[in-house]
Structure 1
Amino acid sequence: MRLRLPWRHLALCGVAPGRRATSSVPAGVQSFVPASSTIDAHALERLQAFFSRATRLFVITGAGLSTESGIPDYRSDGQWEKQGKVHWLVTQNVDALHSKAGHQGLTELHGCAHRVLCLGCGAMSAREELQKRFAGLNPGVPPCKDCGGILKQDVTFFGDTVNRGTVQFVHERLVESDAVLVAGSSLQVYSGYRFLLAAADQKIPVAILNIGPTSADHLTEFRVSARCGEVLSVIQPH
């Protein structure tokens, strides 16, 4: 089986006994990724077993993926979604990496910095389009083309609240799932943490893959402290 990452390809036939995941982070971005110990075969096998048991996986991602600068495409050329393994993906990031990777079942919980939202009428446009208008109107600030309202990035900033409809939609996807994976998030922000509380109430098993402790460690089946790219690149979608 071949798993795609933006910076390399790996031909894998399962995790061999005693195998350790090795660094998959480009040299130029090592400084952005926290130090972590090398994950051992036992931790890999335990996480692989968790993935293998799941049939409708609910995934929450955070900055731990983005810091590796090019998220690992653990769909294995679409096999994760084709097999129905990943039921829904929720990201707290606003950088559009998951949508660029081609994920279909995706909720950007905090919005996307590549979109612009009109605070007056709700019209949505591309950030790139607004940048062109900035260049043409500078030093003025362009208003919404539909109603003349104030524009802002379609992002939930600190102090803002996530749209209620989005939260309800994600809760509904969680109810449909049979396992939860948290990848690269410490869950210190309630907007994502709330879904771990809900998963615990619904007795949905949870695994966390993150460097360092998280706010939901007490709610999980187990936690693996390692880099997401190194681990997800050797996990099989079956």
Structure 2
Amino acid sequence: MIQHGDVVDAARLLRGGTFTALTGAGISTDSGIPDYRSPDSPPRNPMTYQQFVGDPDFRRHYWARNHVGWRHVHRTHPNEGHRVLADLEDRGIVRGVITQNVDLLHEDAGSRTVIDLHGRYDSVVCLSCGRTISRAHLAERLDALNPGFIESVLDGGTTVADVEVAPDADAVIARTSHFNPADCEFCGGVLKPEIVYFGENVPRERVERAFALVESADALLVAGTSLTVMSGLRFVRRAAKNGQPVVIVNRGETRGDPLATVKVDAGASETLAALAELL
């Protein structure tokens, strides 16, 4: 049975011990990055790994959109929720953060122990030779291959921030047929963001480190994720199986609600800020 509560109930449960934080897109909405599954989010159809690998047209469309969206995510800043978790780590209360986000805002806020479960938006890998390059370097190459593309998309005074941007640094653009994607400059292979796509598995070593981080703490705090995919839900299941208290903070239902010791139906940033004052 779900135990609905408020931030006072959450603080009472977490006070005096340590916890690991599991975060999702909902913690970054206050930084201007929309999420996929909040009650007010529009429907989306994220590209799958199979589509990206198997269809050059899908890859071109993805890189065109990402080329615009990357500029937006690159300019975002941590919000109060990110800063609170970093501060609680400094105070010895938070053991670390497992994040489903790829925006690096936890690191930017000062969190030291962060497991980027689904990868990082600032790195690109070649699927053939395995070399990695920075997303900033790729941006320079894409600019050279596509002079005037950004201006053609952001016409009429539109800014990058006005273009709909998804949590994986993607953006919604209709006009992508004239975009020229870049191949690996070392071997000519296919370049892919170092991000775990739908249909792709999180590296096992990363999952094991995340399980260890969960088990190193007295409790698990989930913030800003609906836990729709198993990659995050499995940590809630592990904590519940181990008898560790689970606090879930999220607007709307999550798949982990039946396992929650306390569920707070509220926004992540403001709830974390209030929680920190009570701990």
Shorter-chain TM-score category?
0.7 to 0.9
CA distance in 2, matches of 1:129, 1:199: 40
Shift of 1:205: 0.8
Q: Is the 8 A contact 1:206 1:219 kept in 2?
A: yes
Question: 2:241 maps to which residue?
Answer: 201
Question: 2:256 maps to which residue?
Answer: 216
Q: Is the 8 A contact 1:71 1:98 kept in 2?
A: no
Q: Is the 8 A contact 1:74 1:233 kept in 2?
A: no
Shift of 1:98: 1.3
Higher helix share: 2
Residue 49, structure 1, aligned to residue 89, structure 2: no
What is the TM-score when the length of structure 1 is the normalising length? Answer: 0.75
Q: Secondary structure at the match of 1:53?
A: coil
Question: 2:199 maps to which residue?
Answer: 159
Q: Is the 8 A contact 1:74 1:80 kept in 2?
A: no
Residue 126, structure 1, aligned to residue 134, structure 2: yes
| One-letter identity of the residue aligned with 2:22 | I
CA distance in 1, matches of 2:253, 2:182: 43
Shift of 1:75: 4.7
Q: Secondary structure at the match of 2:243?
A: coil
Q: How does 1:180-195 map to 2 (within 5 A)?
A: 180-195=220-235
Q: Which segments of 5 or more consecutive residues in structure 2 lack a partner in the other structure?
A: 32-77, 147-178
CA distance in 1, matches of 2:185, 2:217: 40
Shift of 1:47: 1.6
Q: 2:25 aligns with which of 35, 58, 63?
A: 63
Shift of 1:45: 1.6
Q: Secondary structure at the match of 2:269?
A: helix
Higher strand share: 1
Q: Secondary structure at the match of 1:194?
A: helix
Q: Deviations over 1:139-177 (max 9, x none)?
A: 654333444432111111111111111111111212212
CA distance in 2, matches of 1:78, 1:169: 19
What is the TM-score when the length of structure 2 is the normalising length? Answer: 0.65
CA distance in 2, matches of 1:96, 1:44: 26
Q: 1:105 aligns with which of 113, 116, 126?
A: 113
Q: Secondary structure at the match of 1:46?
A: helix
| One-letter identity of the residue aligned with 1:218 | P
Q: Secondary structure at the match of 1:208?
A: strand
Q: Which segments of 5 or more consecutive residues in structure 1 lack a partner in the other structure?
A: 1-41
Q: How does 1:132-143 map to 2 (within 5 A)?
A: 132-138=140-146, 140-143=180-183
CA distance in 1, matches of 2:275, 2:21: 14
Cα root mean square deviation, aligned: 2.1
Flag the structure with more relative contact order, 1 or 2, with Cα contacts below 8 A and sequence separation at least 6.
2
CA distance in 1, matches of 2:268, 2:135: 29
CA distance in 2, matches of 1:100, 1:196: 26
Aligned length: 196
CA distance in 2, matches of 1:176, 1:130: 38
Identity of aligned residues (%): 37
Q: Is the 8 A contact 2:83 2:110 kept in 1?
A: no
